[in-house]
């Protein structure tokens, strides 16, 4: 008796196929979301134009040389942390993640797909901000490989924190907390206000924030053409590993 064959064969796709498909979907959703584009594109651009051209606060050296690296860090924060936390939080609320949890897609694959989509959006952000900064007279220096490594670590740290928040808090709480953290880090993370403007005890504490380490490292490379301090590498790596590890273990589908 001839054995029957069924095409297509039933069964889950490979992990790489699931990752590719989910990354494509996450990227499509990010691009279609107008509020996300406002947060990730418009706000960093406005901050760059405002603080690089208007004497709002006293800055060391040329204004654009200080502000441009800080705004690059702010762009990563807005996309990888704030935007991703809010979007993922409401995906949980509307049971989108619960439906994904019923598929062969694992938590780690979902988190990686979201991070890869964020990286793609960040590439567009950074290209736009660099073009605007060049138009304002910015002339960066230093090793491009160090800049890429800093941006990758910063993305991992912010993405892990955003997914940790979205995977544990309710959507409304995530919305409020993510926006509050964004504003606090904009003001206190060395983005446009130098850390040395704060008192010694507070400055020492703020230097361990991931946004502070990222902006400080970027300025060392892009403004001073010097190597990144070990403190910045260690801080970013610790936040990246710690946040992603905890997020993967505590992330809830519903």
pLDDT over 90 percentage in the chain: 41
Distance between CA atoms of 195 and 187, rounded to whole angstroms?
10
**Per-residue pLDDT band at 8 (split at 50, 70, 90):** low
What would you measure as the largest C-alpha separation in the chain, in angstroms? 86
**Are 142 and 48 a contacting pair, CB within 8 Å?**
no
Distance between CA atoms of 11 and 46, rounded to whole angstroms?
49
Q: Is the pLDDT of residue 163 over 90?
A: no
**Which range scores top for mean pLDDT: 6-20, 30-44, 137-151, 190-204?**
137-151
pLDDT in tens, 103-162: 777 777 877 888 888 888 889 899 999 999 999 999 998 899 999 999 999 999 998 999
Mean pLDDT of 227-241: 95
Please provide the size of the chain in residues.
254
CA 115 from centroid of its chain's CA atoms: 8
Q: Is the pLDDT of residue 54 over 90?
A: no
Distance between CA atoms of 45 and 92, rounded to whole angstroms?
30
pLDDT: is 206 or 41 the higher one?
206
pLDDT in tens, 57-115: 888 788 999 999 999 999 999 988 988 888 888 888 877 777 877 777 777 787 788 88
Give pLDDT, residue 239. Answer: 96
**If residue 129 lies in a helix (H) or strand (E), which one and from where to where?**
helix 107-135
Distance between CA atoms of 247 and 190, rounded to whole angstroms?
26
Distance between CA atoms of 124 and 244, rounded to whole angstroms?
24
Instruction: Give, as one character, the DSSP assignment of residue 167.
Output: T
**What pTM, to 2 d.p., does this model score?**
0.86
**Per-residue pLDDT band at 9 (split at 50, 70, 90):** low
């Amino acid at each position: 008796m001839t054995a029957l064959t069924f095409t297509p064969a039933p069964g889950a796709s490979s992990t790489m196929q699931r990752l590719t498909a989910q990354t494509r979907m996450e990227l499509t959703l990010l691009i279609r979301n107008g509020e996300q584009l406002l947060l990730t594109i418009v706000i960093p651009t406005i901050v760059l134009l405002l603080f690089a051209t208007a004497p709002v606060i006293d800055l060391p050296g040329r204004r654009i040389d200080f502000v441009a690296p800080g705004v690059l860090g702010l762009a990563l924060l807005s996309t990888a942390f704030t935007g991703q936390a809010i979007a993922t939080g409401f995906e949980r609320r509307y049971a989108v993640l619960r439906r994904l949890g019923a598929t062969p897609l694992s938590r780690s694959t979902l988190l990686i797909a979201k991070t890869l989509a964020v990286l793609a959006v960040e590439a567009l952000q950074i290209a736009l901000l660099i073009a605007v900064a060049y138009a304002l007279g910015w002339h960066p220096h230093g090793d491009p490989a160090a800049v890429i490594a800093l941006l990758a670590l910063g993305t991992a740290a912010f993405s892990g924190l955003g997914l940790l928040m979205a995977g544990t808090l309710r959507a409304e709480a995530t919305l409020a907390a993510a926006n509050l953290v964004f504003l606090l880090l904009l003001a206190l993370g060395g983005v446009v206000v130098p850390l040395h403007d704060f008192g010694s005890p507070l400055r020492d504490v703020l230097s361990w924030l991931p946004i502070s380490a990222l902006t400080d490292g970027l300025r060392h490379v892009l403004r001073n053409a010097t190597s990144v301090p070990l403190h910045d590498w260690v801080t970013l790596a610790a936040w990246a590993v710690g946040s992603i590890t905890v997020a993967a273990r505590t992330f809830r589908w519903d």
